[in-house]
Amino acid sequence: MNSSLQTVSIAEKTFLVTGAGTGIGYSIAESLITLGAKVILHCNWHIEAAQGLALKARSDCKVIQKDLSKPQAGQELVAEVLNLGFSIDGIVNNAGIMTELSWDDNPSVWEETWLKTLQVNLIAVSAIARRAIEHFQSKGGGIIVNISSRAAHRGDTPEYMHYGASKAALSNLTKSIARDFAADGILAYSVCPGFVDTEMTADFIQNYALSEIVSGIPLKRIAQPEEIASMVVFLLSGTVPSATGTSIEINGASYVR
């Protein structure tokens, strides 16, 4: 077996988790910290929550604030982590936005919302991945987990089609990374949740009624952030290298491919 794919304990690794101040990102960071990993928690908002989590860690953890809607922010984030002296073993691209956009909004609002969504959900991620891949190549491997969405494969409503499109592109990016860089010991996975009980989805759930949403989920409940975190930690463990490029659905069987 390629030595770069040999597994080590999570506690021996260092991870960057974006959007770690709340929701899925917070749960992922918390799970990794509990297992003794070093975690760099990125956030734009919810800085105090991220700092509080970092202070609880037994290992060396840092919090970095950066607005990924700004040009160059993705590559700047990775550069800042490396400048702090960290050697990154894995990256979780979790940060994302899901802004409602009316079909009747004027063209300028339409384009502005599409552009911002693509910048945060895709372009910044591609920049993070590009810089991370260069770093991973220098050290013999690494793991990228991109948090995509059920909408990437199923599509979405008119109000959120820009979100679905950005996540579809993200899942495709993940496949390209997996195909192109596996020989370098670099693994890439997409995790595609459906509805998850987070602050990000709270308004949507309130507007559309939880009972209506659950009616379309055979499991009859929405997922909890800890469920997504468990899968991400498993992928970051490096125990399933042959699954690189896989998209993993976590949606209570509401969309099965």
Residue positions annotated with a catalytic role = 163
Q: Is the distance from CB of 20 to CB of 43 less than 8 angstroms?
A: yes
Rounded to an integer, what distance in angstroms lies between the CA atom of residue 231 and that of residue 191? 8
DSSP, res 207: H
DSSP, res 91: E
Q: Could you give the 3-state DSSP secondary structure of residue 19?
A: coil
Q: Six-digit token pair at 46?
A: 């919810």
Q: Six-digit token pair at 64?
A: 């970095």
* Ramachandran angles phi, psi of 84, nearest 5°: -75, -5
Strands 90-93 and 186-193: unpaired
Alpha helices in the chain (DSSP H): 23-34, 47-56, 73-83, 107-118, 124-139, 151-154, 161-181, 199-208, 210-214, 225-236
Residues paired with residue 39 on neighbouring β-strands, in sequence order: 15
User: The tokens 């202070």 sit on which residue?
Assistant: 55
Instruction: Give Cα 150 distance to the centre of its chain.
Output: 13
Q: Could you give the 3-state DSSP secondary structure of residue 31?
A: helix
Residues paired with residue 209 on neighbouring β-strands, in sequence order: none
